[in-house]
Amino acid sequence: MTTHEATPSRDPATASEGAPLAFWGGTLGALAPFALLLAGVITLGIAGAPDERGFWPLLVAALGLGAALARDRKAWSEATLGGMSRPIVMLMVLAWLLAGVMASVLGASGLVGALVAVARSVGFSGGGFAAAAFAVAAFVSTATGTSLGTLILCAPLLYPAGVALGAMPSVLAGAILGGATFGDNISPVSDTTIASATTQDAAMGAVVRSRLRYALPAAAAALVATALLGGGGTATAPATAAHGSALLMLLAPVLVIALLVRGGLLVPTLLAGSLVSAALAVALGRVSPHQLFHLERASYTAQGLLLDGLERGVGVSIFTLLLMGLAGGLERSGVLERAVAAAERRAASARDAEAWIVVLVSLAVLATTHAVVAILLAGPFARDMGARHNLAATRRANLLDLTVCTWPFLLPWFIPTILMASMTRGHSADPTSTAPALGPWTIGLWNLHAWGLLAMVIAAVAFGWGRRKDR
């Protein structure tokens, strides 16, 4: 789900240094803030699924409840600030801000309109374009190993272009998110792939090869369903010729993808992409320096595409900071460690062990909202319990990774769905865009690939599918 260049700032297994953080009401008290958040998210989602800013008050209320229920408010404050200040959180905040700048400049340059013209000329429209968007996002996420980076790079271009060509917005957005899910699950440079393999002492090559038996059927089903269901939108793009100078703006995202594939760090790479996109737009005459940045002396304000782009990342950044603060308090409570101990006493067979691995890593990712943290928490249990029941290391790694690549890409309070929702907004730089803003609830429901992966997990545990072959 995240970029492979950063890992959590501490091992969650030892995060509760000293005595665990105690809450009034015990385990129920520790879980109460997340229950409040979940109830609020579901209520708002049914009412209309607002953008990430709509969840800010819920997170503040959940943090307030956590502070009220914590027996030691100083320890709770330290845990909350520790969750917010993880390097990976700061990494993604910077990435969203910089990516917003690049997306803003590319949108104003007319690149989306040029892509629409090219797609129309080769016959891509409706469901066909939605299926192609899934394939493009899957390729980028597999090459770069980062689902969030894929959304940042691909969504601002593919989403408005696809809507203009008659793709159903909800299916198209779900397809882009699904493509990002694919690479996060199978890429050898994805942080979840690395974490699942290393925690189980499994060979990386064997893990990736064996995981394809689950990922490819889910991807094939998602691709076909997207092509069949992705049409039905209203095509708004006129039949126009592609502007060659606008198409040259593709050099900026291509540069970013190439640098990431070669192992470049996400933030410096996005900084380079932002600078190149701005320089290209001005050099090609697609935007003026005044459009990039200027001062409004009458109102004492600064305006321009650069500031507009930075502002696009504010909503998801604040959401992430608050959410990771909430997760920090839960990690320090020791609730997840107690759940692992209880599961160890109940697994009596290989199927039981697999089921408990899936249940515990699901609980961990639902509670912490962080895929790698969840794998690190559940990893020792999966390794020890799985070994006692003769589950191969690759099998254990696959169960961990497949599970954490479902919930964060389906449910509306996780960063991937929130980020994709934010990417459907902010097309004001292109006044011709008719792409509607979508909520994370809707987008998650239409992530057909993640639903396919969930079906694979259920089949693997219930029927033992792949148990003997994952070696």
What's the mean per-residue pLDDT of the chain?
82
**pLDDT tens column, 107-130:** 788 776 677 677 777 777 889 999
| Each residue's pLDDT tens digit, 432-453 | 567 888 888 899 999 999 999 9
Handedness of CA 108, 158, 3, 53 (dihedral sign): positive
Dist. CA 147–CA 39, nearest whole Å: 27
Q: pLDDT grade, residue 16 (50/70/90)?
A: very low
Spatial CA neighbour of 36 closest among 415, 416, 413: 413
Nearest to 134 by CA among 448, 407, 414: 448
**12 DSSP assignment:** G
Q: How far apart, in whole angstroms, are the C-alpha atoms of residue 333 and residue 32?
A: 12
**pLDDT tens string 225-277:** 999 999 876 666 555 555 677 788 878 878 877 776 676 777 788 788 889 98
The mean per-residue pLDDT over the stretch 362-384 comes to: 80
pLDDT in tens, 155-195: 888 898 888 888 999 999 999 999 999 988 988 768 788 88
Over residues 276-296, mean pLDDT:
91
Give one word for 163, left, alpha or beta, with left for phi > 0 and alpha for psi -120 to 50: alpha
Indicate the pTM of the whole model: 0.73
pLDDT for 32 beyond 80? yes
**Per residue in 46-85, pLDDT tens?**
666 556 677 889 899 999 999 999 999 999 999 999 888 8
Q: Please determine, for residue 399, whether its predicted confidence score (pLDDT) is greater than 80.
A: yes
